[in-house]
Structure 1
Amino acid sequence: MEEYNIAMKKMMRNPYEYHHDLGMNYTLITDKLIVGSQPQKPEDIDHLKREEDVAYILNLQQDRDIEYWEIDLKSIIKRCRDLEIRHMRRPARDFDPDSLRSGLPKAVSSLEWAISEGKGKVYVHCTAGLGRAPAVAIAYMFWFCDIDLNTAYNRLTSKRPCGPNKSAIRGATYDLAENDPWKEPFENLPGHAFEGISNWERKLGKEPFENLPMC
């Protein structure tokens, strides 16, 4: 926990700052996708339902994130149930690109399922909505919306100034192409590799999603 506290304090001094005292903040990325910071109280869930027609919440926080900010997650989940909002968790370790890389496929799978259901908007959040959550949204746009990684990255960050780890998304894309017999070790690839993928590579990358649990 002490390690986490130190990392969080460092993050507060970065150009992209999280101001917990200002409450929940978020950005509409597409007509079905919102990226934001953590809901702090049940009233935030009321707001998301009433003002944004949110039907799904995808929470990327670990338990220690929630404990650090003293969030009563049980009351938030209960309010989600009361309002018929589907609350999903796909925890990834904050400030850890490897954890993000390994967790992206399942998180994006849940996001794609929720958007495909079409019952309302999906609210994707981590703690600040500056790292893990935008990375999941960018990976979704890259993998499922037929746009390249740089376009997806620039589109999101132009709407919500943030610093998601692009290398983690590239690494996860590489990992998904597990059936490609010509794949070289990721460390040997140039920096721009897997920023754009062809249709056959996109199809190959989507195959593992078929065996993933949706939520």
Structure 2
Amino acid sequence: MKSMSNTIMVSSKTPSRSSKVSCMLSENPTTKMEEYNIAMKKMMRNPYEDHHDLGMNYTLITDKLIVGSQPQKPEDIDHLKREEDVAYILNLQQDRDIEYWEIDLKSIIKRCRDLEIRHMRRPARDFDPDSLRSGLPKAVSSLEWAISEGKGKVYVHCTAGLERAPAVAIAYMFWFCDIDLNTAYNRLTSKRPCGPNKSAIRGATYDLAENDPWKEPFENLPGHAFEGISNWERKLGNEPFENLPMC
């Protein structure tokens, strides 16, 4: 079924469990989902919620790019292959995220191999803009490589598909698709309501800029800095990607 006009929900038959994890931030949580959503709202300061019990959900952003939540079981991989022609999966979760939701990642990776889907990981810490900022170049590099291969769609996911994954997709559109940051941001969030950290993307763009010892510290720049870049700056910014490993 569809929860929004263009977001697909893949129903999960596995009941959610309520075991506690010490890294989450809420007091006396009753379920993992409530616990996660309280932490997300506190750290990201946005109104969006994950609905893990409804299964994997995702949104087609372009004809080659899908952003969504974590696949929860091997059958989700079958769905992505059969229904969406997915040939690559880019996973942004840390091990602790996967352990928290008790996802059997080995079985998911095995199913990817069986279906000839390339599974890649570029972990970034959830709710952490600094971790996202530092991880964006390598994650976007993997995404750009997969899209350029052209063998099928790329499925980019974190846990809920509301922060890390959309940020990677937005940064890709900004850096490689010749559009400014606000346009990329608005285009994605109009299709998939979510709250990726725009400042982390701006910061990563700043980090990729020419190494100038006199460059003003990012924290001192106005809020609109690095929302748009010229063609020569775009070319300069993309040069570091040539030396990054793809996966």
Moved more, 9-18 or 83-92: 9-18
Instruction: Indicate the SS of the match to 1:17.
Output: coil
Alpha-carbon deviations, 1:30-62, whole Å to 9, x = none? 000000000000000000000000000000000
Contact 2:44 2:195 in 1 (8 A): no
Instruction: Indicate the SS of the match to 2:78.
Output: helix
TM-score after normalising by structure 1: 0.94
Instruction: Indicate the SS of the match to 2:111.
Output: helix
Contact 1:170 1:195 in 2 (8 A): yes
Displacement of 1:179 after TM fit? Answer: 2.9
Change (3 A) 1:167 1:14: closer
Q: Which residue of 1 aligns with 2:36?
A: 4
Moved more, 44-53 or 172-181: 172-181
Moved more, 125-134 or 1-10: 1-10
Q: Which has the higher contact order (CA 8 A, sep 6+)?
A: 1
Change (3 A) 1:24 1:189: same
Contact 1:179 1:204 in 2 (8 A): no
Distance in 2, matches of 1:130 and 1:47, equals 21
Distance in 2, matches of 1:32 and 1:108, equals 14
Change (3 A) 1:147 1:14: closer
Q: Which runs of 5+ in 1 are unaligned?
A: none
Contact 1:109 1:214 in 2 (8 A): yes
Instruction: Indicate the SS of the match to 1:181.
Output: coil
Tell which structure's C-alpha radius of gyration is larger: 2
Change (3 A) 1:22 1:3: closer
Alpha-carbon deviations, 1:48-84, whole Å to 9, x = none? 0000000000000000000110000000000000000
Instruction: Indicate the SS of the match to 1:94.
Output: coil
Displacement of 1:6 after TM fit? Answer: 7.0
Alpha-carbon deviations, 1:107-159, whole Å to 9, x = none? 00000000000000000000000000000000000000000000000000000
Displacement of 1:3 after TM fit? Answer: 11
Give % identity: 99
Displacement of 1:178 after TM fit? Answer: 3.4
Distance in 1, matches of 2:167 and 2:45, equals 21
Number of matched pairs: 215
Distance in 1, matches of 2:44 and 2:135, equals 24
Instruction: Indicate the SS of the match to 2:225.
Output: coil
Which has the larger helix fraction? 1
Q: Which residue of 2 aligns with 1:93?
A: 125
